[in-house]
Every structure is written in C-alpha cells, then in structure tokens.
C-alpha cells in the first residue's frame, strides 16, 4: 500500500497542499526535503528547520537544479510548487505558462536522471467545462485567453509532458485535485472556504460571487495526502497516468456553502452578492467549470475513498483560524 520509509522531496512544501504532504510523509516515517521559494508559503517552515528528519531549501526548484542540485537517493518527488488560486495567478498573467513549464521540465529531467518516481500536481481547471468530469474526458480550451485559461493550458501541457516522458523512462503520475480545502489554506489566493470561514468568524459580510450557483466538491487536504501516502506506488504501476482526487459527496453550491458556514459557526454575518472583479480587480474571472464534480474511477480502483465530510472540513478550518491569523492574507480583502 504505502511507500517504504525513505526520502521524499516535496517542491512547494511550505504551501497549503505541500505542507500537508510534508506533515503526512513525516508522520509516516519518511525523511523529507522541501524545496520552496516561499512565494506562496502559508507557513514559515521554522518547525521543519528544527526537525532533524526535514531539510528546507528555500529557493525555486528550477534554480536548485540549475545550480547542480539533483534528486539522487530520493524515493519520490512530489512536484506541488506552482502559483495557485484565482486571485494569486492574476499577477502572473502572460507569465504563467513560463512559470509552470519552467519548473516542471527540469523536475522531469532530474527525475529521469535519478530514476526517481514523481507526482505532478495539476488542476481540475484543465477540463474547461462543467459537469461530472472523468480523466478520460476530452479537455475543452476556450479561446478567450484570460489568466485562468492560461493557467489551465499550462497545467494541461505539464500533464502531457509527464505522460509522454514515460517513453524516456519516467515513472510519473499526475493528480488533478478538486477544490482542496482545510487548515492553512489562505484567503489571499482567492479560495472560497477560508474566505467564508474567516468572514464568518470576524462577523464580516460573507461575499458570494456570480450569484453563488457554482457547484464545487470540496475535499479535505488530509484525504488528498492519504491517497499519495497509501496508493502512489500502485498508481505508478497502473494504466492511469492522470488521476482525479476529490470528494463528490461534498458537492454544494457556493451560496449553499455560505449558508452552511454561517450556520455551523453561529455567525451573524450577512451573506451578500458581489462582483468578484470589485474584490480582485478587473481581470478576475470565474472558472470555465461552473459546475465541477469529480468522477473517481481511477482513484477508487486503487482502493482509495475520501472520508472527511463537508461539515467536518468547515469546522476544522474554523478551528485553525480561531487559533491563528492567516499569515499570507494580512493585506488581502476580508
């Protein structure tokens, strides 16, 4: 089931998903090397610095590799480093393709050179349409090239690079996560659950974009990390290179999420409709997948199932932000 204890490299290991992966691998008895430029960090990493099983390299992975670093001796590389979030990506418009491919290509090359298996984190944004979305479905590429579409195209190309690099000896898989949420996720990226939770805790208006009829299926970060801890080896040996990881049982409209957060937290916050561009600027856009539900054919065939229900996920996120501030969102709108 799980990987043997050894060294795991996590790029973007100080970010939201990356740090949950680091914690899970450490708990499972692995040594972990984090390579992270700190651009999207949600934690400072000082606890990892003090852990003798963990090494933190604070630079971009492409710079680390260009300076002679390698992945020799690592048991696996989890490439989670990326700009992410509908608000965070806006500043990289016109550069996202370079950012994503510029880090992915050298990681693939280094994994091939070291004989190290890798997992690339992609995005459910690649589908470009609404519905129940299966890994075997065709991808739609709209031609109004806003920043979110640039992001989706770049992630799609990175997926193709991993898939085609199997011809050159790469053992690699791609994860398409669907709306991961939980502790540490920052509202600074434009993510809806930490935004609603922090607004409700502060008694501020809960701001719903685009009428709130968007449907999202939220998965706990712990469910996502458990897939890699317990099933990555089997996934590498399977016929599926691209694997959806999500929780269709947690599907809810964004307006429904706002009401559920308000109810669970006993908040007096009003729920108000606003234009996302008034919050994040004129280039903000909603996702092409207005209704986005994962089909889990590949993941469940390996024996994995999501466990954390939506209410538990909301409450755990709230518990985290009752105890501490959102370190990335000091200057972000609330």
Question: What per-residue string of b and e applies to 102-123 under the rule 16 or more CB within 10 Å gives b?
Answer: ebbbbbbebbbebebbbbbbbb
Q: Which residues of the chain have pLDDT under 50?
A: 1-4
Judgement on whether residues 62 and 115 belong to the same structural domain of the protein? yes
Residue 184's pLDDT is what?
Answer: 95
Judgement on whether residues 110 and 190 belong to the same structural domain of the protein? no
Mean pLDDT of all residues belonging to the chain: 95
Instruction: Examine residue 85 and state whether it is found in any structural domain, yes or no.
Output: yes
Instruction: Examine residue 328 and state whether it is found in any structural domain, yes or no.
Output: no
Judgement on whether residues 149 and 191 belong to the same structural domain of the protein? no
Strands (E), 287-327: 291-294
Each residue's pLDDT tens digit, 2-47: 444 689 999 999 999 999 999 999 999 999 999 999 989 999 999 9
Judgement on whether residues 313 and 190 belong to the same structural domain of the protein? yes
Q: Taking the model in full, what pTM does it have?
A: 0.95
83 phi and psi, to 5 degrees? -65, 140
Residue 5's pLDDT is what?
Answer: 63
What is the DSSP pairing of strand 271-274 with strand 206-209? Answer: parallel
Whole-angstrom CA distances from 94 to 24, 122, 149, 159 are 35, 19, 11, 20
How buried is residue 323: exposed, middle or buried, by Cβ count under 10 Å (0-12/13-18/19+)?
exposed
Judgement on whether residues 127 and 200 belong to the same structural domain of the protein? no
Residue 332's pLDDT is what?
Answer: 77
Joined tokens for residue 79: 């490439």
Which CATH number fits the domain that encloses residue 85?
A: 3.40.50.720
Residue 2's pLDDT is what?
Answer: 44
SS3 assignment for 194-207: HHHHHHHHHCCCEE
How buried is residue 144: exposed, middle or buried, by Cβ count under 10 Å (0-12/13-18/19+)?
exposed
Residues 6+ apart with CB under 8 A from 60: 35, 37, 81, 103
Q: How many domains does the chain have?
A: 2
Residue 1's pLDDT is what?
Answer: 39
Contact 287, 125 (CB under 8 A): yes
Range of the domain at 269: 182-216+249-292+308-323
User: In whole angstroms, what separates CA 103 from the centre of its chain?
Assistant: 16
Judgement on whether residues 62 and 106 belong to the same structural domain of the protein? yes
Judgement on whether residues 167 and 276 belong to the same structural domain of the protein? no
Judgement on whether residues 227 and 254 belong to the same structural domain of the protein? no
Judgement on whether residues 157 and 264 belong to the same structural domain of the protein? no
Instruction: Examine residue 299 and state whether it is found in any structural domain, yes or no.
Output: no
Judgement on whether residues 36 and 79 belong to the same structural domain of the protein? yes
Q: Taking CA 74 as the corner, what is the angle to CA 72 and CA 76, rounded to the nearest 5 degrees?
A: 130
Judgement on whether residues 163 and 263 belong to the same structural domain of the protein? no
Each residue's pLDDT tens digit, 73-119: 999 999 999 999 999 999 999 999 999 999 999 999 999 999 999 99
Instruction: Examine residue 169 and state whether it is found in any structural domain, yes or no.
Output: yes
């Amino acid at each position: 089931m799980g990987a043997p204890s050894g060294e795991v490299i996590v790029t973007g290991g100080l970010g939201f998903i990356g740090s949950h992966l680091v914690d899970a691998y450490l708990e499972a008895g692995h040594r972990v090397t984090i390579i992270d430029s700190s651009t999207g960090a949600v934690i400072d990493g000082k606890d990892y610095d003090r852990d003798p099983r963990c090494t933190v390299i604070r630079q971009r992975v492409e710079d680390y590799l260009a300076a002679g670093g390698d992945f020799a001796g690592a048991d696996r590389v989890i490439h989670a480093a990326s700009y992410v979030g509908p608000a965070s990506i806006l500043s990289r418009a016109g550069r996202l393709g370079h950012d994503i491919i510029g880090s992915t290509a050298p990681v693939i090359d280094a994994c091939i050179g070291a004989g190290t298996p890798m997992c690339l984190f992609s995005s459910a944004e690649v589908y470009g349409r609404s519905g129940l979305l299966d890994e075997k479905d065709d991808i739609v590429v709209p031609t109004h090239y806003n920043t979110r579409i640039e992001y989706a195209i770049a992630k799609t190309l990175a997926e193709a690079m991993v898939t085609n690099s199997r011809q050159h000896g790469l053992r690699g898989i791609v994860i398409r996560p669907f709306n991961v949420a939980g502790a540490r996720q920052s509202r600074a990226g434009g993510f809806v659950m930490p935004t609603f939770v922090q607004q409700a805790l502060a008694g501020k208006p809960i701001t719903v974009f685009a009428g709130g009829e968007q449907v999202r299926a939220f998965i706990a970060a712990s469910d996502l990390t458990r897939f890699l801890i317990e099933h990555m080896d089997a996934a590498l040996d399977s016929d599926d290179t691209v694997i959806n990881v999500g929780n269709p049982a947690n599907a809810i409209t964004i307006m429904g999420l706002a009401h559920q957060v308000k109810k669970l937290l006993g908040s007096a916050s009003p729920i108000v409709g606003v234009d996302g561009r008034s919050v994040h600027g004129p280039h903000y856009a909603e996702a092409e997948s207005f209704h986005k539900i994962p089909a889990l054919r590949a993941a469940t065939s390996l024996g994995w199932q999501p466990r954390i229900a939506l209410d538990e996920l909301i409450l755990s996120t709230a518990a985290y932000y009752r105890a501490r501030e959102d370190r990335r969102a000091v200057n972000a709108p609330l």
